[in-house]
Chains A and B, each alone.
Chain A
Amino acid sequence: MTTEQMAELYDKYKNAVYRMAFAYCKNKADAEDIMQETFIKLFTADIRFEDSDKEKSWLLKVTVNKCKDMFRSLRYKYSLTAIPLEEASLVYETPEESEVYHAVMSLPTKYRLVIHLYYYEDYSVKEISRITGNNESAVQTQLYRARKKLKKILGKELRL
């Protein structure tokens, strides 16, 4: 893979990978580390994909796995339940944006993950299943519970 091809890939997917990692890690530094590791893996493995959809879903799968690896590490083992959201990286234009974003980020990690992939990346349950490694039934259940939790936090006026 040439440097130009790598740069093209990086520019194409950097935001998707970074945003996925941020949804998981809730802070800029870790999300950037995860993003860098993910692209290094893509470039060193030199894997080429038939289409960009497969490429993107592969990248997000690697991102999720890297996030899980990080959260298994000693650093996070004792602070799984209380990882603060790093506000400095975030910009809200309305109070509603802030409220909804905080509600999503207050969800347990597994629910945040499926909400991001389903509503932000527009992946189907089947595709999310491939990315997260959970079976479709588990993804359906996680989405179902995540929606309920969001409605509980934000009230019934939340439109999903």
Chain B
Amino acid sequence: MNINDYKKVTDRLEPDERCRKEVLGMNKGENKIKQNINEFDEKVSGVEVKHGHSAMKYISIAAAFVLVAGGIGTTSYFMHRNGGSQFADTVEEETTAEDTETVIEDANEIATEETAPPVDYDYEAIAQELTDKYLESANIMRCGCVDFDANDSITFYTYDSTDDYWSNNYGGQRTFCKVTDDRFHSCQDIYDYYKQNLALTTYDTRFDTDTITPADFKNGIFIEDGCTVMSWLGGDVSKFENGSRVDLSPTHDEECVEETAMAVNNAAYVDYNGEIYVNKNYAERGAKESFTSEPEITEKSADKMVVSRFLKPPYTGYENVKYGEELIFTLIFENDEWKIKSIGHGISLEYYSAIAIQCYLEKIDEYKDIDIDCMDILTSLEVLDYNKETKICKVHAVLHDTQGVDAIDMTADVNVNPNGNLAVISADITRLKEYDSSLDRQGILYAN
């Protein structure tokens, strides 16, 4: 019996011919509209050979991330003044016994009247504080961003007694260093720190529904994508001796995976003899996400606000991004506090621009010598301006030919609306190096 049997059966699966007609027929109308939209105003300046590096390449990409100490200070001030109630300037009025009676008598009537609450929140301060706190807690949980003692560590060696291939390729040394941050003494503490920013019920992206935010980290869900926090919080692994080999299948039953052993193998944190330890690889890598913009409130009411904020992910290619990826926070007011109800993803400004430029250059013969790998474009791309209303951004990039030599200097207006037509609207391109057909890209599907 062989997994090829699965392949053979699958090979015989084919969609009906009817689908072909439907797909190609359905798309005709949309395609026609699209072609009209795509008639961009291209302004190519022709071949203008320049020698050496373009100075534009070295224009620094100023990091837009600014720590607003004042905002945090303001936040603390409001909290203090309101006795812990978040940032609410409560309008208090004297209430007499008579008033109270009247209120009771008219309770039903009042319930149907306008329900504007007697508060005036400092929405900006709330958005700033909550999003900052959220990202800090997420970085701690997912990236191991805590203080640790590299000299106080425990080490295990993972393997699978039923799977030599896995043992040789994926098993091996796992070292954890003692966490010295006083806030955290267990995986539960890390989760509680993360969870304190979340509402009592949060939106679960897996099932498109609201669910109660679990109290125990073993049931915890990462709000951004719905995956379990056990991916990072491994729990108590004290049963394994420091320095020992850890078998993922100790019963030698291929079906039975030892969960605690898997935690040693995968987790960012483990509990060990009453202390918490962080995976050395996570902690030393130091990768973490950071905001590149201030929070922008796009919607607000007495008990809800929606906040957009751009974030720089710790991925290769994103080192110099000015904006990065947009997170959309929905915050709600519950139990006298503002909390995070859900987090969605919006525009990835530089990435979308890089894709649009890639598609644009791919169609033009005279740029067939340009390296249009998306990550390479992303690395050299600089956002000069972004219009939030129109979702159009102006970008600049010096792109290389396929030999890695600066070849074109490009400034373009790009439509980055994810719900619209992702495309270069206009482009101003100056060649820094003459076109060389011997450097043409290989394997392009549609090099018109």
Contacts and interface: CB of A to CB of B under 8 A. Distances in A.
Given A36-B22, A43-B30, A149-B255, 11 more contacts: A5-B446, A32-B15, A44-B31, A50-B372, A50-B374, A50-B444, A90-B12, A91-B12, A100-B5, A120-B6, A156-B254
Contacts of B173: none
Contacts of B31: 1, 3, 6, 43-44
B358 interface: yes
Question: Max chain A CB contacts within 10 Å: which of B5, B166, B206, B358?
Answer: B5
A24 interface: no
Interface string B26-37: 111011001000
A48 B9 contact: no
A148 B445 contact: no
Nearest to A160: B3
Given A10-B24, A48-B359, A144 B2 contact: no
Nearest to B163: A144
Interface residues of B, number: 60
Contact of B5 (A101, A145, A147): A101
B9 A51 contact: no
A32 to B, nearest CB: 5
A50 B362 contact: yes
A92 B9 contact: yes
Contact of A39 (B1, B23, B358, B423): B23
A95 to B, nearest CB: 10
B320 interface: no
B117 to A, nearest CB: 34
A73 interface: yes
A133 B8 CA distance: 27
B318 to A, nearest CB: 16
B6 to A, nearest CB: 5
Interface of A: 1, 3, 5-7, 10-11, 14-15, 18-19, 22-23, 31-32, 35-36, 39-40, 43-52, 55, 72-73, 77, 89-94, 96-101, 104, 115-116, 119-120, 133-135, 137-138, 140-141, 144-145, 147-152, 154-160
Given A46-B421, A47-B359, A77-B207, A96 B1 contact: yes
Contacts of A98: 9
A54 to B, nearest CB: 9
Contacts of B26: 36, 40
A48 B374 CA distance: 11
Given A72-B206, A73-B208, A119-B3, A46 B19 contact: no
B1 A18 contact: no
Q: Secondary structure of the A side of the interface?
A: helix
B14 interface: yes
Nearest to B421: A46
A72 B208 CA distance: 6
A64 B248 CA distance: 30
B363 to A, nearest CB: 7
Best-buried of B12, B15, B207, B441 by chain A (most CB within 10 Å): B15
Given A36-B19, A44-B30, A55-B445, A15 B13 contact: yes
A45 B422 contact: yes
Interface string B324-361: 00000000000000000000000000000001001100
Contacts of A35: 15, 19, 23
A144 B266 CA distance: 13
Contacts of A119: 3, 6-7
B2 A93 contact: no
Contact of B254 (A3, A36, A152): A152
24 contacts: A6-B24, A6-B31, A18-B15, A36-B22, A43-B27, A43-B31, A47-B359, A48-B446, A50-B443, A77-B207, A90-B13, A93-B8, A97-B9, A104-B6, A140-B170, A144-B166, A145-B257, A147-B163, A148-B162, A148-B254, A148-B255, A156-B254, A158-B1, A158-B2
A35 B13 CA distance: 13
A152 B30 CA distance: 49
Nearest to A69: B208
A42 to B, nearest CB: 9
Nearest to B361: A48
B27 A40 contact: yes
A35 to B, nearest CB: 6
